[in-house]
Amino acid sequence: MPQAATARGASVAAPPTRRTGPRWVSLLPLGPALLVVLALFLYPFLYGVQLSLHPQGTLARAGTLADYAAFFGDARERTSIWNTLRLAVPVTVLDLALALPLAYRLRRPLPGQRVITGLLVIPMTLGTVLLAEGMLEFFGPAGWVNKSLLALHLAATPVQFVHNYTGVFISLLIADFPAVFLVLLGYASGLDPWLDRAARTLGAGWWRRLSRVTLPLLAPGIAAAAALSFVATFSVFPSAVLVGEPAGSTRVIALAAWQAAYERFDYPQASAIAMVMAAIELVFVALVLAARYRAYRGPTIGGRP
Amino acid sequence: MSAETVVRPSGSKKAAPPPARGRAIGRVEIRGLAKQFGDVQALSAFDLDVHGGEFMSLLGPSGCGKSTALNCLAGLVDPDAGQILLDGEDLAPVPPERRGFGVVFQSYALFPHLTVGRNVAFGLEMLGVPPDAVARRVRQALGLVHLENLGDRYPAQLSGGQQQRVALARALVIEPRLLLMDEPLSNLDAKLRLEMRLEIRRLHQTLGLTTFYVTHDQEEALSLSDRIALIKDGTLRQVGTPEEVYLHPRSAFVANFFGYRNLFRVRVASVRGGRVGVVTPRGLRFDGTAPSGGVAEGTDAVAAVRPEDVEVRGAAGDVGGIAARVEFAEFVGDAFECSVAGDDGELFVVRTPARWTPGAPVVLRVDPDRLLVFPPE
């Protein structure tokens, strides 16, 4: 019945959009969230900035930037940045590398998918302290890992896994994985499966489908996960103390700030260190976001959904 | 949209086959194809021969297996049994990325992160075509679908009809041996659908590619195809030219697809030569024809008649015919479609030049040649 079809296909006028008041009214619901941000984030931040610019004690007369100068002038303090970076960057990269194939594989419902996803997310529910305690047992000299290594003759003496860089690295890797995985899973399950098939019929093998279609479309998710992971690992504190070597290789920047504040009671110095920390995180996030905006952003569905 | 301005997408110097029908290449033989998904037999004992350059529609209701057949051709689904031969070559060992078929998906599946030009170029780049040749062929392919000026846009910036054209250009630019289309027009509105239908017809007449076209829309199939394959429950029910399947359906299923909107259960009362007398459960009697045989006295059957083949007259005075009453009348542009209820409550859809008032008593008559009687499915 072509006649009937044409009649039904006739365009219907869009309903008129209704405006109930001036433009600012629609922004009102933002209010409470804005208040929380101001009270819990912006105020402490600005307070910290001004605190860091008012040195006390012997530095009081050395100018407003004396605490920053003191931090960068002291090799031990300066090294805390390096100590943190060499944890945060490899952990972020490795977590991304581990989570990406898993998230891609689990993007479509599979038998047992819920169980697998649940298991992968469990570390999120453990606190850092609980995780550290578990690690001390499990990776300790008399723990399962070393017992297995000895029994299999892979090691002659117990391997030192904790109270050093390795301990903090493993702890961060485990604690950080769920967030990275969940962010990537969200993006991966939004991928249109037909794009992969289309690329296939156009002659693309698995590597070129991955590099030309899948990864570019996942770039926003990878950027978000990388930023989240870096910020979380760069501010590492408890595990650096509990399973690390806080006096040496894992004296991270957060620990330096803590020692300034609560061992030397030098709040301006602690604030200055915290500002350095914030600046580094900001630079990393800015770099990641810049890379992301250079890549594609937009829908991950080809054509009309 | 005149055919004269059209260029071949290839532009290559090699001896291109003439864009004529019935080419020697692109001949497809499908033998005993079967595929099962879980408990569902999506396709079974599916045989189909397609000549080079032929436009073959796979027509059937949703879930009938037509898309599975297309995906087997594309290589995206591995059949459980059977084989597909292209120009005599078994396709089973050839993965989809090396088949070189143009595929147009229902959702178009355009790469959202690539411009229109890069989308069309994708297949050529995968083939390792040099950049200057890629640029030229992309330009020609976009010209073919009248999108010369949109090469720098992203798919999300295009209308549905334009996206459809990009999908076509992307499939055609690689000079495919087969063109496979899966319900390409189902996401467009009615007006655009008619326009793109002409466009697809034009491209097929110009390029002469062997084309498989999956649709559930009988009008599309009738207007586009050289032949139509009707599929139900994973099996082939009838293959023929549009005229053949429209005029001579061989089963109630096919008849229903091509405008026999009145289907009703009957019992065969008599078979005399070509004439079959049938009775509805409540006792209405009709005379009809059994085009595919298979009906015997005393067996159940299905009678089918088109709305326009039922003659409707006022009840006054006349005898002969079936007494009925008009229930609804719908204006459909060039005629009225009325639902009429026979004395036994059986509802018929009839097409009449005049509007009948609901409740009016009428008499229905059906030419025995136009009432088809089929064995039950």
Q: Give the Å distances, CA to CA, from A302 to A109, A199, B65, B187, B258.
A: 21, 12, 24, 13, 33
Whether residue B12 is predicted with pLDDT greater than 50 in this model: the reply is no
Indicate if the pLDDT at residue B23 is higher than 80: no
Q: What is the dihedral of CA A157, A158, A164, A165, to 10 degrees?
A: 90
Taking alpha carbons only, the member of B320, B351, B323, B348 closest to residue B335 is B351
Query: Is the confidence at residue B14, as pLDDT, over 70?
Result: no
* Strand pairing category for B361-366 and B322-331: antiparallel
B223 pLDDT band (50/70/90 cuts)? very high
Six token digits for residue B234:
């994973």
**What pLDDT, on a 0 to 100 scale, did the predictor assign at position B15?**
41
Token pair in block for residue B134: 């890629």
Cβ distance A299 to B112 less than 8 Å, yes or no, reads yes
**pLDDT digit string (tens) for B95-114?**
999 999 999 999 999 999 99
**Rounded percentage of chain A residues whose pLDDT exceeds 70:** 90
CA nearest B213: which of B18, B363, B70? B70
Q: Tens of pLDDT along B166-202?
A: 999 999 999 999 999 999 998 888 888 898 899 899 9
Which of A5, A192, A298 is opposite residue B190, by nearest beta carbon? A5
Name every residue in A having a CB less than 8 A away from some CB of B: 1-9, 11, 192, 194-195, 197-205, 208, 212-213, 216-217, 295-296, 298-305
Query: Which residues from B are below 8 Å from A200, CB to CB?
Result: 75-76, 95-97
Residue with tokens 């000026």: B149
* A302 with B107: Cβ contact below 8 A: yes
Distance from CA of A7 to the nearest CA of B (A): 8
Q: What is the pLDDT of residue B376?
A: 87
> Cβ of A303 and B332 within 8 Å?
no
pLDDT in tens, B295-308: 888 899 999 999 99
Q: How far is CA A284 from CA A227, A291, B8, B226, in A?
A: 7, 11, 51, 61
pLDDT tens profile A72-117: 999 999 999 999 999 999 999 999 999 999 999 888 877 888 888 8
The whole-angstrom distance between B284's CA and the closest CA on chain A is 28
- Which 163-192 residues of chain B touch chain A by CB within 8 A? 163, 167, 170, 174, 187, 189-191
Q: Distance between CA B323 and CA B348 in Å, rounded?
A: 12
* DSSP symbols for B228-293: EEEEETTEEEEEE-HHHHHH--SSHHHHHHTT--EEEEEEEEEEETTEEEEE-TT--EEEEE-TT-
Predicted local confidence at residue A212, as pLDDT: 93
pLDDT band at B18 (very low <50, low <70, confident <90, very high): very low
Contact B190 A204 (CB under 8 A): no
CB pairs under 8 A between A and B: 113
Closest-CA distance of chain B to residue A4, Å: 6
Predicted confidence at residue B45, as pLDDT, reads: 93
* B96 in contact with chain A, both atoms CB, cutoff 8 A: yes
Ranking B87-91, B333-337, B344-348 by mean pLDDT, the lowest is B344-348
Q: Which residue has the tokens 């770039």?
A: A219
- The answer to whether residues A162 and A136 touch, using CB atoms and an 8 Å cutoff, is yes
pLDDT tens for B122-143 read 999 999 999 999 999 999 999 9
Is B127 an interface residue toward A (CB < 8 Å)? yes
Q: Are A107 and A185 in contact (CB under 8 A)?
A: yes
- % pLDDT > 70, chain B: 92
Other residues' Cβ atoms within 10 Å of the Cβ of residue A199: 25
Mean pLDDT over B232-251 rounds to 94
Regions of chain A short of the pLDDT cut 70: 1-21, 295-305
pTM of the predicted protein model:
0.79
Give the residue on B whose Cα is nearest the Cα of A12: B189
Q: Give the model's pLDDT for residue A296.
A: 61
Phi-psi region at A206: left, alpha or beta (left = phi > 0; alpha = psi -120 to 50): alpha
Assess whether pLDDT exceeds 50 at residue B331. Answer: yes
Q: Do A212 and B122 touch (CB under 8 A)?
A: yes
Pairing mode, strands B262-272 and B235-240: unpaired
Task: Give the pLDDT confidence score for residue B35 in this predicted structure.
Answer: 95
Token readout for A167 is 């301990």
Residue B267 CB partners (closer than 8 Å, separation 6+): B278, B279, B281, B298, B299, B300, B301
Query: pLDDT value at position B22?
Result: 45
**What was the ipTM of the complex prediction?**
0.81
d(CA A299, CA B122): 19
* Beta bridge pairs of residue B214: B58, B182
Spatial CA neighbour of B275 closest among B346, B363, B350, B370: B370
Contact between A198 and B105 using a beta-carbon 8 Å cutoff: yes
* Distances, alpha carbon B131 to alpha carbons A82, A128, A173, B149, B188, in Å: 46, 54, 44, 19, 34
Contacts of A195 in chain B (CB under 8 A): 109, 111-112
The whole-number pLDDT of residue B318 equals 58
Which strands sit side by side in the sheet containing B23-37, from one edge to the other?
A: B40-52, B23-37, B81-86, B89-90
